[in-house]
Each structure stands twice: as structure tokens, then as C-alpha cells.
Structure 1
Amino acid sequence: MEPPDRRGAAVTASATSPRDLAHPAREEIRLEAVLHALSDPMRLRVVRELAAADGEVACSGIELPVTKSTTTHHFRVLRESGVIRQTYRGTAKMNALREDALGALFPGLLDAVLAAADAQTARLGAP
């Protein structure tokens, strides 16, 4: 396991090849890292789209109004904080929310954040 990053998120160094992506184990997921990941509007947009999806979604299936390198950064922050799980399917990197892990560690947090984001969108008309 690698040492915690600057936000306190421990990142499991379980990746054995470039196609194996490191994810924190459930017990390593930290609230402050999850809250940091969810605090960015682009990352929150990704989480909302994944929550609304029926199953995994490819990175290319979520359009963000930022550069490709910035999009990659946002997905990495979400993965390293434990909010999403990323796996390769052929050449596509697929994404899914870690709803079970987040729900077990922080009951109601994800639902509350998604409901608040929906309410804010309704109030402000923001995407």
C-alpha cells in the first residue's frame, strides 16, 4: 500500500500491470477523500451520470467540457478516493460507482449528495 496522498486517501498499490488500476480497499476509503472528490463540479457531474446509468459507463460515454487530460485527472481522483471502480473492457475503461462500499462506510451519504445536486440543478438551472 502506498502512503496516503495529500487529502488522506490511501491508495492500494495492487495494480500489477498498466491495465490493472489501483483502487483503495473498502476499509481504506476515507470520508475526507470522498468529500474532496465530490466537491468538484465536474467530478460530481460524473458521479451523477454514473448514478443514473444502468451499469458501467465508458469514460468516453461521459462528456465533460474540459480537456481530455483534465477528464482523466477527474476520473483518477474519483477512483483513488474510492468513489468509483474502473476496469478495462477491451480498449474501453469502464466506470461504476462503488455504491456498496460507500453505503456501508457512510450510510446515506451518496443519496444525500445526489439529492442535493438535483435540488441545486432545479434551483439554479445549472447542468
Structure 2
Amino acid sequence: MPDETLPQPARDEIELVTVLRALGDPVRLRLLAVYADDQEHNCDQCDLGLEDLHKSTVSHHMRVLRESGVTTTRTSGRNRFVRLRRADLDARFPGLLDSVLGAAER
């Protein structure tokens, strides 16, 4: 079975309001901090440090991030791998990710 990328907006369709809405949730900010290393992450909750949340809750937050254009998700068989769309977000909204990540660290 070939890898497949789940639906997401194209770079020029990413909207600031949608991104800010997606990042306005504490759980999604936690996910953003995990994805900020620019590596591809397996969607396993243990890998994400979200063991305290129900699997369906984590899936919902990951979907919101993907549909807003913050992340991209690749499927391979039954596995899902998520990566931050840093290049796309930096091109659309220069400095936004660094500002949000810096504020989240404080």
C-alpha cells in the first residue's frame, strides 16, 4: 500500500485566522512544541507526551492542526506520521511560528 498524504490546504490557502484559531488551544500548543523539531512524528500518544488524554481527543486536535495547514500527515499502512509545515507557514506568515513557540515556552 503506497504512502498517502491526508487532505490539507495548499500553501496559498492557509489563512491566518484559521491558524491562530488552531493554535489557541493548550493541547494543540503542546503538539506544536513537539512538532517544532521539524522531524516526522508517529501519531502514537506515547511519542507525543499526551498519555493523559483520550486517543479520540488527540486525534481531534491533530485533525484541527492538519486542516488549518499547521501540519501535514502522511499515512503508511495503518501508521500516521505528522510533520510541522514550517516552510509553508514561514512563507505565508513570517515569524509567526517562532513567536508562538517562544511565547508558549514562557
TM over 0.5: yes
Contact 2:5-2:73 within 8 A present in 1 as well? no
Matched, 1:85 2:69: no
Q: Which runs of 4+ in 1 moved over 3 A?
A: none
Q: Name the Cα RMSD after superposition.
A: 1.3
Query: How many angstroms does 1:38 deviate by?
Result: 0.5
What whole-Å deviation, never above 9, does each CA across 1:101-126 have from its counterpart, x for those lacking one?
A: 0000000000000001112xxxxxxx
Query: Taking structure 2 as the reference length, what is the TM-score of the superposition?
Result: 0.88
Partner of 1:9: none
- Equivalent of residue 20 in structure 2, options 35, 40, 44: 35
Determine which structure has the larger strand proportion and give its number: 2
Partner of 2:40: 56
- Structure 2: give runs of 5+ residues left out of the alignment: none
Paired residues for 1:1-127 under 5 Å: 20-52=5-37, 55-60=39-44, 61-64=47-50, 65-119=52-106
Counterpart of 2:16, as a letter, is L
Structure with larger Rg = 1
Distance in 2 (alpha carbons) for counterparts of 1:69 and 1:77: 12
